[in-house]
Amino acid sequence: MNVHAIRAIYMFEIDRTLRTLFQSIASPVLSTSLYFIVFGSAIGGRMSTIDGVAYGAFIVPGLIMLTLLTESVSNASFGIYLPRFTGTIYELLSAPVSVFEVLTGYVGAAATKSVVLGLIILATARIFVPFEIVHPFWMLAFLILTSVTFCLFGFILGVWADGFEKLQIVPLMIISPLTFLGGTFYSIDMLPPPWRTVALLNPIVYLVNGFRWAFYDIADVAVGVSLGMTVAFLAVCVGVIAWIFKTGYRLRT
């Protein structure tokens, strides 16, 4: 394993994040804080509990997941798209660096940023609402697993995109709407039976519920199913990336 190559890619991406610290960290935290103020304090103060959990605390896992998914995809997609846009990708492809080492560098840096951002938002949430974490180990495990999975997906998006505008299509037009409809602000058990069945077709439902289970030991779907869906999506992303490097799709042209 070429540790020096992994470290070089990883540190370059981390340095890029530090150079844009306000945009990378402060902006998502500020946006999430506004959600806590509006939904957690203003609206939550006028709502009853959900499954025995105060509404303000109930939405904490969903809001963390909302930011985590969009930021993971955006970070990883921009990280690999920039070398393609500037042409430095050819230097990377000609270097003695394996696919695993490239992925570890780019995806590792993007996932690190996402995990740190998730933990900062978690700490910020305590300012607005009191809550406890029943399964802290599983909370951290879901946080890391989800970050890595969607960073892999973002890597695929960054290879597929042929313009900066396409980098924003999936996070804004697909990931964010699915997260809002995936039980971020409500329990899908509150929906009428037909709509609950439709909601179960949304893969984000399983991610949000697995993460919420780690907080409060409650979930609309079995935690094993949530974990299995996440691992399955990760495996698909790894398979697609392996195919991309094997065929050179949009990397060598």
Task: State the amino acid at position 94 in one-letter form.
Answer: S
Cα(219)–Cα(37) distance, integer angstroms: 24
pLDDT of residue 157: 94
Comparing CA positions, the residue from 156, 152, 153, 135 lying closest to residue 211 is: 135
What 3-state DSSP class applies to 189?
Answer: helix
pLDDT band at 84 (very low <50, low <70, confident <90, very high): confident
Least confident of 36-40, 107-111, 157-161, 242-246: 36-40
Beta bridge partners of 114: none
Q: In this predicted model, what pLDDT tens digit does every residue of 42-70 receive, in sequence order?
A: 666 667 788 888 888 899 999 999 889 99
pLDDT of residue 72: 93
* Burial (0-12, 13-18, 19+ Cβ within 10 Å), 120: middle
Return mean pLDDT, the chain: 88
pTM to 2 decimal places: 0.91
**How crowded is residue 211: how many other Cβ atoms within 10 Å of its Cβ?**
26
